Structures are given as structure tokens and as C-alpha cells.
Structure 1
Amino acid sequence: MTESVTGFDALAASVQHHIVNALGWPGLRPLQEEAVAPLVAGEDAILLAPTAGGKTEAATFPLLTRMSTEDWRGTSVLYVCPLRALLNNLQPRLSSYAQWLGRTAEVRHGDTTAGQRRQLQAEPPDILLTTPESLEAMLVSTVTSPQVMFANLRAIVVDEVHAFAGDDRGWHLQGVLSRLEAIAGRPLQRIGLSATVGNPHELLRWLRGPGRDGRGTVIDPGGIGKESEVRLDWVGTLDNAAEVISRLHRGEKRLVFADSRRTVESLTLSLRDRKVETFASHSSLSVDERRRSEQAFAEAQDTVIVATSTLELGIDVGDLDRCLQIGAPRTVASMLQRLGRTGRRPETSRNMLFLGTQEEEFLRACGLLLLWSEGYVEPVQPPSTPYHVVAQQILGLTLQRRALTRGDLHHDLQSFAPMRSSAVDQIIDHMLTEQFLVQDGELLFAGPTAERRYGGMHYRDVMAVFTAPPQFTVLHGRTEIGQIDPMVLRSEHGKLLAITLAGRGWRVMSIDWNRQRAYVEPWVHGGTVRWAGMPQLLSAPLTGAIRRVLQGQDLDGVALTRRAREQLAELRDEFTVFVGVGDSDVLVPHDRGRSRWWTWAGGRENARTLAALSRVAPGLVGEAPTWDNYSVTLSDEATVPLIRAALAEALERATEGEDVFAPLIDERTLWEVKFGDMIPAELLRDEIAKR
């Protein structure tokens, strides 16, 4: 009985040769070793490792082996990423690997020029790096033939798969993959690359979709693999944070994360005022501006780059010495991604310094660090009931096929899980009634309402399931700096505005309101900086951890500065009346004739609780009740026994089938859901409530 070949020995000889001679590697990392056998065998998989853990190579080397030994031709591998910048960053590396076999790897996304797209059509790459939105564009294109372009597909790699699965872009991707499998006439091998998540096996089941045969595997060599130095400091203001950063770790390369574009801009400007070489990176900067910042940072030593989560997802900016965080992210998974940016050199350790500038963010950091110290990582949970994505996929497939039957819809979208919902026929019937679709015999076509509402620029609006808020392009001469919220540009009394963008001050010289452009000149001072955003919900585990910290639980494995210890002690005194003991109920009379019930249950649960109380015992909530991540406001008549009795009744009614816990919906939100007009109003309300 012969032993099966595994690991490095299972790779194609040409791939082995170049790993040793071109890369100079003495061997593969544990993740890469473990991934070879199942991926060469064609299994679906989730590969888990921190940032810079070798995930790209763990997926690519086995696929190059299959490409060589099975003689794949044409575009046979898709590599999908959530960010264009990540695709641009990966393309040179994947192209160099593909060249080992005389193959090619190219990028196609929203920044790809018309000439580059024509070149890709004339000479299809063996590996195509792209986004779900660009795949949708290729599928519905009237210029290219998706049947020709995707007929040879064999495998897909989904980088940062957890980022997709956590929102509707993941459902969009799953629908597109189902349509690609219908074109290729075969199941595609699906490989997801992810940082640590709390439910990797469920994530694999989501990635594979329903009804797939064969095995799937989760490959996790385990943990970050290095001791981590994590510290927490309290500095009180963003200006103080800039002062601390300017003085700490001079001569080293520092990456500072902030969770808003506004904070990134303000901090970058403050650091530059202190003569610190500083660069900014966030989604509203132009592509060229981000590239210049990231390239300059990668080549420098004594420097700082301040970024939002755009630099969390694997974009290479070289070896880092230090990672700092203003405030706190909202998940342990994000923290692990950021922590994994450091400690890549053998003689260095992974490190992260949290700088608290506001009390709420400081407490969030405390709760997050408690969860981290306990080894907790959030499960990735795809959004429920994505009815609007079902409608988008139905319209997209109709545009792709030009004409099709209901049976065709179900066939081509058979591995798109939401298509198995009993609501699908209701959605199709609604689309027919409202003439998003029209029917001739058994055939369905795109209708006049779809043309009127989504048909502009060759149905460009159908390509993405999200709607970006309107932004004005900021130009210095012909150079694009980035985009900014148009509300910032509305000055009083005709005064010239000063704005901050890319960490620099600008004076707005003129505004083209029709073309949505603002023309600027450099200015010695910074000015207004603001973008529209939505309030972020915190999870029940995180708010519960914050409560436990306030009740006195220590943060094991986290070094607190003297300022942090003093601030935490003050907050524990301040919140004593609100946290209670253990999980006890805390109802505090409000000074405006209201009471506040401190649940510490997270935003989603509090929304559900308030909805149930409003339906079962409206007298307890009174007029204009509110909820947040930590509490629910109630009328002054509320008592703990009355609240408990009302919730018990709500649970009883829920077991009898009444949706008593569905959050209350503001009718205005129905109009904010993209493609919401293509589904029946009752389904739209149900979708929003369940989310």
C-alpha cells in the first residue's frame, strides 16, 4: 500500500522548481503545506491565517498545479477581492507566479480603461483578478460574450471571504458564481481566504452554496503564532493622540488605524503640523493619491500612515514596526487583522497600542480587549432574507440571457441559496406586475420600468447591490485628490471654503455643481472635513464585555498605562449605578420624566426588545421611545416586574407564531433599500425588520 503524496511533493514539478529557485524558499509554511493535497484534489476550502500568513500562495500554488497537470486553457481561475486596491496590489505577485507556467494574470475592475478591457477580451488571461461588480458587468455586457469568456472556468479564490459574507456583497457574489457555473457547465472549485473567524465551518458552507457534492475542508494551522504586545492608553483628545504618536517610536514605521475618514484626515494634518512624515489612506481618496501614499510609506522608514479599514485587508505596505489604533474597531476579528500587520520579521513581535480619545471609544476598546483576552472571535453572519439581492440577480440574469423562462432562472441560480426561498415566485410576480419584467408566453424579458429606473449607462446601477452616497470630485488642476461630501461645499455668504483632504489643507476656488466637481488650490490651513455615515451597532458580546469591565473584570494580557488605569477607575465609579451586579436588571429613572433600562444587550437586541414592549405593553414605553447599544428608554411608569411580565407575554406570543419581536420600521427606510422597489412591500418590511 503506497502513501499518498502531500504537501510540497504534491505540487507540479515546475511550481516546485520556482518556489525553490525563483523565490528562494526553503519550504512551505504550515498553512501552505496543509492546503496542497485537498486543493490539488479539487476540494472546496476555507484557508485561515492572519495578515501576511501566506494565504494567497496557499491557494495559488495548488491551482497552478491543477492548471499545469490538467492543461487548463483560457480564463480558468477567478481571484475575487473586496477592494480594487487589493487587486492592484496582488496582480504583480500573481502574474509572476503565473509566468512560471507561461500563463498570465490580469486585473479587471471599475478603474480598468476601455482599452485595457478590449485587450483582456482579445487575450483572456488565465487568472482574472476582479470584483463581484465587474463580474456582473461582464455577464450583462452587450460587447463581450460571457459564454465565450467564462466557458473554461474551473476555480475561484475569494480573498477576505469573511468581508464578503458579512454583507449583501456576499449574496451578490454567490448569485454571480451560480450564473458562472451555469455557463461553464461544471461546479467551480471554491476557495475562501480569511483571517480568523468564529465559525469557519459555517463560512465554508455559505461559500459552497446549496446542493454541492464532494468534500469541503477548513484549513487552520492555528492562531497568530507569536506573542502579542497589546497596550491601552488614555489621551483624551485627538490632538493629544497626535502629540503621543509624534513622540513615540521615532525612526520606526508606524501604521495608525482610525475608524472614520474624518479622524484620518484630522490626525494626518495634526501629525504633519508636528513635522512627522505622514500619509493618509481611505476610500474617498483618489486611486493615484492612495497609491502614492502607500508606495511612499512602503519605501520609507521613519514615517506614519493613517488609515481606515482599507489597509486592514491585506494590502502590502511593507514590514511594519508598530500598529496603533485610535479608539477601537467593533470586532475582535478586525483587531486581529490589524494586529497581524506587525511582527512579520523574525526578530519582531506583534504589537498594538490603543489610544483612547473619547470615553465611548475607550470603553469599546476595553470590552474588545477583554473578549480578545478570552480568545473570543465573532462568527460571520450573512444578512438574512436578502430579497432585494434576489430581485437584482433575477434582473441581472434576464439582461444576461436577454430572454429566459422561470425554469431558466431557477436552473442558473440553483447554487444561490436565497433562490430556494418560497418568496421567489412572489418577487417574480411583483416584477411582472410593476413591469420590471414582461412576459411573452413562457419567456421573460427586461421590462420598461427596469429600463426607466435602472437602464442608464447600460444598466450600470444593476452592477452593484449597494448605493454610494453622492460625492464631489476634488481637483487640483487636472489632478484628482479625492471625493468629499457635497454638504461641506455649501458655504455661508459666498465665502471661499477651506477643506482638508489627503491630510493637506485646500481652498475651494470654484464649484461645478452640474459636473459635481470642486476645484482647489493648496492652503496653509486645514478646514472642514466630513462624510455622511450611518450609526454602527455593537454586538451583544461586546456590550456585555464592556459591562463586565465596568463591573471590575481585569483585562488579562493587556498593559494599561497609568492614564488608562485612572480613566478606567473614574468610569467604573461613574457607571456603578448603571451596570449593577452580574446580569441583574438595572432600571434608572430619567431626569426628563423617562426611565432608562440598561440592558447591555447590543443594538439589535435592544431594537427587538423595544418593538416587543411597544406591541405588548405600549403604556410602558410611552411616546417617542428610543434605544441604543446599551439601553432602552421607557416611560416613568415602567418597573422591572412589569417589564419582565411584558417580555414573558411577548415570548409566549412569539411561540404561537406572532412576529412580536420584529423591530419597528420607519416607512422612509423602505425607499432607501436599493432594488427594494422590485420586491413586494410586505417582503421588504420583513427583510428590514429581520435585519
Structure 2
Amino acid sequence: MTVEPGRLEAANAPAAGGDEPFTALHPVIAHHIVNTLGWQALRPLQQATIRPLLEGEDAVLLAPTAGGKTEAACFPLLSAMEAGRWRGLSVLYLCPIKALLNNLESRIDRYTGWIGRRAALWHGDVAAGARRAMLREPPDVLLTTPESLEAMLVSVNVDHRELFRNLRAVVVDEVHAFAGDDRGWHLLAILERLSRIAGRPIQRVGLSATVGNPQELLHWLQGSGAQTRPGSVVAPDLAAADSASPTDAGPATPPPGDIELDYVGSIENAALVISSLHKGEKRLVFCDSRRQVEQLGEALRAREVTTFLSHASLSADERRRSEAAFADARDCVIVATSTLELGIDVGDLDRVIQIDAPTTVASFLQRLGRTGRRPGTVRNCLFLATSEHALLRAAGLLLLWGRGWVEPVVPPTEPLHLVAQQLLACCLQQGTIGDRLWPAEWNGLAPFDASALPILDYLRAAGFVDEDGGQLFIGPEAERNFGRRHFMELTASFTAPPQFTVFAGRAELGQIDPALLTEQTEQPRRLLLAGRSWQVTHIDFSHRRCFVEPVDSGGRAKWGSGGSAGLSMALTRAMRDVVLAQNPPVKLTRRAVSALADIRACHGDRVSAEGTVVESLDGKARWWTWGGFRVNLTLQASIRELADNVLDPESTPSDQWIQLSPGVSHDTWHTALAAARESTPKRPTPDERAIRGLKFSAALPNEVARYVLATRLEDGPGARAVLTEPVRWLHDHQ
């Protein structure tokens, strides 16, 4: 296909009035879109993005998975690069995981090559020699992570002022994955510091497939420029409105897709179903723990299913081999955690299978979007629930999805530990910084602005920061706590738990939890890793390594829990709706229908459409709030402060219930409840282990670290909503 001369001439003209947006792209970019890619037209998102990005606006681009978001961002920015004669490193492309960067590098480098420019990759797995070459001759587009940017800013081997002085724009892929946790605050702080180095605002473009509050996400991404810079949400393929209420009835017909919910009862049975169905197809199976991935992978291989694995504790080489082999194969299965949720290309998928259920609709939409990309196919997902609780959770999730509801992306509250990290990182970056000038480094962005003075005062008093002649610099306590490996501890906002690296001969397999190597056992010590069983032959505790050899079976997999925050109120209330006989708008197998009937029979007295239920049986009582974990923690803290004899002091609430004290009376309970209704909900008390596990907590007063975690456990509005509802007391004789 050859571009018509008239079309190419039009591409030289600036965009105006009702002109086709395509004509505003640089003519070389336009030429290659038509002649190199062979595209006859741009997608709606790609058309709609051209004008705002060429005019320098910030933007959040929303489209389903595989909706062309990368091109929607790259084509206008590369056009601006060429038209504006940007030189040096001018565009950053940030991703939450290294695997996604690896996957995108060749694609983006191809597009930059059209205009004689270059893209390159920088993260922890890139060889030191390649990184040194990039410093000598920077690429025009750098693909990296926020953690790698922080490492560059604090490194004495990187002239960050020279490297980033030409920076003009940043693309944040899977922006919702950053915004919903502390990495988002870290990212925003780094972008403000980069803007100071460049001496100009940096255009910010976020890419996402699934958000319930896109305007708020855009405002968040703009950082200090939210009130002064133009910005837009571009979403021609999606309804860009904020999320609906989780109690809305929703559309009468379900969203498009072939979704089926089955109940199988165990991982072994899930393997049996997967090995029996969809033969000849390429299947991607999502599990929500590494342990499940390993168990299912071993069970599938035992049934002679061609199986590949991918999760974060497998070595990079092991993951790459699995993903490359899966991309090229047919009639096979890859079993993965959410590492393959974020858009990594694993070839042309036929089917997605979900073991149990993710905790958010947004996550499900990402996974569903991996299918249905070929003409004539539809998006599909088969849920295989391995327990009744998982079945109820899956049904509740699909009920929310059927209503068209998606969670809002909400940044974590009070990131004061990251304020401490940023103050220390800025001292490292600058060498010294004025004791009155430091707030300007973040351009007034809260909470990194002057409101951080009490944290700085603590850092000075505790020796993390020293001062001389009005200049601040790194102190001995910062060296002691974070100085290992050239302050690499300061470059990431998350904590990586200690793990042992496993070797089979010279080949690295991945990492395991140290508990597997220290637990008492009289049997040979066997591990399950990369979908195979291994027997431990030697443990090198000083270097955290262990050596293994293959065995037929008997391996165990284990990793830390990661501190799950439990289920949301929206999802838990949807689960209650399922118990109240609402079915999700999907296909239910006979096994699922039967299991749901059993669940409803078991929980039928524990639900009320109007409110909550107290179940008092055999001297034990539970308050079935169906409020979600954070709401129940807040309710528990609120009632405990008012009455110490109402709640079980040893019990932690679940997503669905709060344990009352044995033998608590109806009158005592209602007196405490009435007092709670008249009071302000109280913050939960965090566990001391959680405080110690908060990254950078060593650089905060203990009471501040406690406050950070308490605010993140609290759900005051949800607790108040539950307290306003009527309560039905269910006695033994009822």
C-alpha cells in the first residue's frame, strides 16, 4: 500500500478547524503509519489524542487493553520532537514493571527510528556497560521505572543535570497501577524534581485501560501543575464518567463477552478441567498468588499439558524463556500472577482462565482484555473457583462488572514516610541544599512542600540530616540505615522481603521464602519452583543461596502474604447481594449453581437487604456487616474505645463480620452501638510488625509511622454508613 501524494502533502499542514487530526502529525510519521505499518486509518483514541498532545497538554488516555494507547502517545510526541527539534533525552516512557518495558523497547525504538532518533532501556537488569554508553550518548526516548530514575538522580556516577536538562514529556503506562499505591507518590515527587532540573514543566501523559474516576486521575498526574496546566481525558472508546454507585441496578443486559463461572473445589480439579477443555487453544491462566501458580503448573504438567509459568519470584531468564515459548506455541497454557496482567505481549491468545477471583473489577477488565483481539472473536474468561468463599467473591465481582462499575483509583493517604525519603534523596541528589530553599524542589506539591518542616526537623534532630552554615546534607544515621550499596535502599518506595536465590547447577531458577529452608522437618527438604519439584542439596546462608536437584514430586511452595488489605466495601456488599439471590450476568455451570445454592442456605440468615445482622449461636456472636475489611477494622476500633466488653479482644475482623465477646447480651450490644452512632469513627491501631515493615519508618518518629498506617486502615465514611443501618439480632431459637 502506498500513501497518496495528496495525503502526504496534507500531513505537512498544521491542524485547524475541522481538519482531519492525522494531518497534524509530522509528515514522516504520517508516511510510516501508512506505508510501514500499512494502516489505513488511526483508531479513534489515536485520532483524538493528536491535537491535545501536539499542543502540549497533559492527558490521560483511556482505552481497552490492546487499544493502541502506546501509539496514541508516541505518534504525536515524536511529531512534536521532530517539529520542535528536541535534542538529547527529551521523552521518558515509564512502566510499573520491567517486563513491560522489555516488551515495549523494540516497538518504541522502531517508531523513533522513523525520524532518525533512538529509544533505549534502563533498569536494574540492563548491563552496566549499556548504561554507561547511554550516559555518553543519551537516547531521545528512555524507557525506565521511577526507581531507576531515583537511582540516577542520587548516583554520583550520573550527571543528572546534563542528562535531564532537555526533558520535555513523560508517558506513564498503566498509570492506575502507580496511582493506587505509594509508588505513585514517589513518581510524582521525582517528576517535580526532574522539572526543576529541566527548568520547565514536563508534559505528562498517562495511559490506562480501567479507571472509575479519570478526571481525578488526571488531576493527580498533573501534580503541581494541576491548577495551571491544560489537561484532558481522552476516551473515545470508553465511557469516561466516574464510577457508578455499587448499589445501582446497572444495565439490563450484561456487557459483551463470553464469561463463565464454574466451581471446581481444588487446584487439582482446576488442572483436570483445564487439561480437558479447549484443547488446541492457547490459554492464559491467572492466579492471585505465586503458590497457586506453582501448584497449578505442576498439576498441569502431571497431566502432560504443555505449561509455562510466570511470576515475580522466578528468575528473569526463566520468565523470559516461558513467555517467549508461550508466544510462539499453540495448544499450551501459561500460568501467571498479575505480572502478565499489564499488557505484556504473549502472542495471540484464545482464552483467559481465572483461578478464584481478583480483588478488583479493574484487574478483571485488564485480564479480560487479553482476549478477543482477532476479528470474529469475543473477549472471554472462565472462572474456576477452588473454594466456596472464592466462588462467592467471583460472583460478587462479576455482579459489579455487570453493573458497569469500576473502582475509583485513590492514592494512599498521608505518605509521610515518602516525604522523609524524598528529603534524604534530595540531599543526596544536590549534595547540599539550603535549609530554606528545599520546598522549591517539589514546586509546592503537597505533602513535599513547606508542610514537611516537622519531618525535616526530626531528620535533623535524629542525625539523618546534618546542617552547616544553612546547608543541609546527609547525616550519619541516613548512612547507617540506608547507605548500603550506594543508598540503593532509598530508591524504591516498596519493601522487598528477604528471599533465597535457588540454583540448579549454574542456572538460576528464582527466589523462595527463607521459611522453607528453616522449618523443622525429618524428611528431605523439597521445594516447588518453576512448576517442578526440587530437592535441596546445599544451603549457603551467608549469601542467601540454595542449590537443588530435580525430583519427581513432593515440593512445597511458599512466599510471604504481602500484607493483603482485604476486600473493599463495594465488593463485599456485592457478595452479600449474591447471597440475597442476585446472580451475575454470566454463564453459571451446574456446579456453580449448586454451590451458590449451598452458600445461600448457609448464609441466608446472615444477610439483610436493609442492614446488618448479629448472629448469636451457642454463646458466640458475630456482627455480619458485610462492610469490607477496612470498614470492619474502623467499626471494631470505634466500639472498643467506647466499651471494652462488647468485642472479642483476640479476634481480627474479616471482610464480612466482626466477632463479639462470648455471651454478650442484646442490651449491652445495643448500648455500645448507640454510643458508636453518636461518636466519630476511630482509627484502627496498626500492628507493631506493620509499623516496622513500613518502608523508611526508621526516618520517622514512631507515632508518625503509626499515624500513617492508621489512616490507611481507616474507612470512616464506610463505617458511618454501616452504623446508620438497622441491625437484626438473630438468636439461637430463631
Category of TM-score, reference length = shorter chain: over 0.9
Query: CA offsets per residue over residues 199-227 of structure 1, 9 Å max, x none?
Result: 01111111111344221100112349982
Q: Does 1:219 align with 2:248?
A: no
How far apart, in 2, do the equivalents of 1:461 and 1:276 lie? Answer: 42
Paired residue for 2:472, among 419, 436, 444? 444
Cα distance change on mapping 1:640 and 1:203 into 2, 3 Å: farther
Q: Does 1:482 align with 2:503?
A: no
* Structure-2 residue corresponding to 1:686: 707
* Structure-2 residue corresponding to 1:657: none
TM-score, normalised on structure 2? Answer: 0.90
1:92-491 aligned within 5 A: 92-212=106-226, 213-223=228-238, 227-414=256-443, 416-420=445-449, 422=451, 424-490=452-518
* Consecutive unaligned residues in structure 2, runs of 5 or more: 1-14, 240-253, 713-734
Aligned residues: 682
SS at match of 2:65: coil
Q: Does 1:37 align with 2:51?
A: yes
Letter in 1 for 2:176: H
How far apart, in 1, do the equivalents of 2:615 and 2:522 lie? Answer: 49
* Consecutive unaligned residues in structure 1, runs of 5 or more: 655-659
Query: CA offsets per residue over residues 289-337 of structure 1, 9 Å max, x none?
Result: 1111001000011110000000000100011000000000000000000
How far apart, in 1, do the equivalents of 2:333 and 2:238 lie? Answer: 28
1:596-675 aligned within 5 A: 596-636=622-662, 638=664, 643=669, 645-650=671-676, 652-654=678-680, 660-675=681-696
SS at match of 2:621: strand
How far apart, in 2, do the equivalents of 1:162 and 1:115 lie? Answer: 33
Query: CA offsets per residue over residues 634-657 of structure 1, 9 Å max, x none?
Result: 124546675565455345443xxx
How far apart, in 2, do the equivalents of 1:168 and 1:44 lie? Answer: 22
After superposing on structure 2, the runs of 4+ consecutive aligned residues of structure 1 that deviate more than 4 Å are 491-495, 637-645
Preserved contact between residue 175 and residue 415 of structure 1 (Cα < 8 Å): no
Q: Does 1:561 align with 2:589?
A: yes
* Structure-2 residue corresponding to 1:525: 553
Task: Tell which deviates more after alignment, 82-91 or 524-533.
Answer: 524-533
TM-score, normalised on structure 1? Answer: 0.96
* Structure-1 residue corresponding to 2:244: none
* Structure-2 residue corresponding to 1:82: 96
Letter in 2 for 1:356: A
How far apart, in 2, do the equivalents of 1:315 and 1:382 lie? Answer: 25
- Identical residues among aligned pairs (%): 52
Paired residue for 2:610, among 583, 603, 618? 583
Preserved contact between residue 612 and residue 626 of structure 2 (Cα < 8 Å): no
Preserved contact between residue 226 and residue 349 of structure 1 (Cα < 8 Å): no
Letter in 1 for 2:221: L
How far apart, in 1, do the equivalents of 2:180 and 2:398 lie? Answer: 22
Cα distance change on mapping 1:164 and 1:221 into 2, 3 Å: same
Give the Å deviation of 1:489. 1.8
How far apart, in 2, do the equivalents of 1:179 and 1:65 lie? Answer: 26
Preserved contact between residue 504 and residue 526 of structure 1 (Cα < 8 Å): no
Give the Å deviation of 1:32. 0.7
How far apart, in 1, do the equivalents of 2:225 and 2:58 lie? Answer: 13
* Structure-1 residue corresponding to 2:578: 549
Give the Å deviation of 1:499. 1.4
Give the Å deviation of 1:119. 0.8
Letter in 2 for 1:461: E
Give the Å deviation of 1:670. 2.1
Give the Å deviation of 1:628. 1.2
Give the Å deviation of 1:665. 2.6
Letter in 1 for 2:633: A
Give the Å deviation of 1:12. 0.6
How far apart, in 1, do the equivalents of 2:330 and 2:444 lie? Answer: 48
Give the Å deviation of 1:9. 1.4
Query: CA offsets per residue over residues 380-426 of structure 1, 9 Å max, x none?
Result: 1100000000100010001000100233321111254322473x111
SS at match of 1:619: coil
Letter in 1 for 2:466: V
Letter in 2 for 1:380: V
Letter in 1 for 2:688: E
Aligned Cα root-mean-square deviation (Å): 1.8
Letter in 1 for 2:79: T
SS at match of 2:459: helix
How far apart, in 1, do the equivalents of 2:380 and 2:648 lie? Answer: 49
Letter in 2 for 1:390: V
Preserved contact between residue 224 and residue 444 of structure 2 (Cα < 8 Å): yes
Query: CA offsets per residue over residues 232-255 of structure 1, 9 Å max, x none?
Result: 001111111101000111001000
How far apart, in 1, do the equivalents of 2:392 and 2:332 lie? Answer: 29
SS at match of 1:407: coil
Cα distance change on mapping 1:491 and 1:574 into 2, 3 Å: closer
Give the Å deviation of 1:496. 3.3
Task: Tell which deviates more after alignment, 516-525 or 264-273.
Answer: 516-525
Query: CA offsets per residue over residues 656-690 of structure 1, 9 Å max, x none?
Result: xxxx5111233343222111121222222211110
How far apart, in 1, do the equivalents of 2:591 and 2:405 lie? Answer: 27
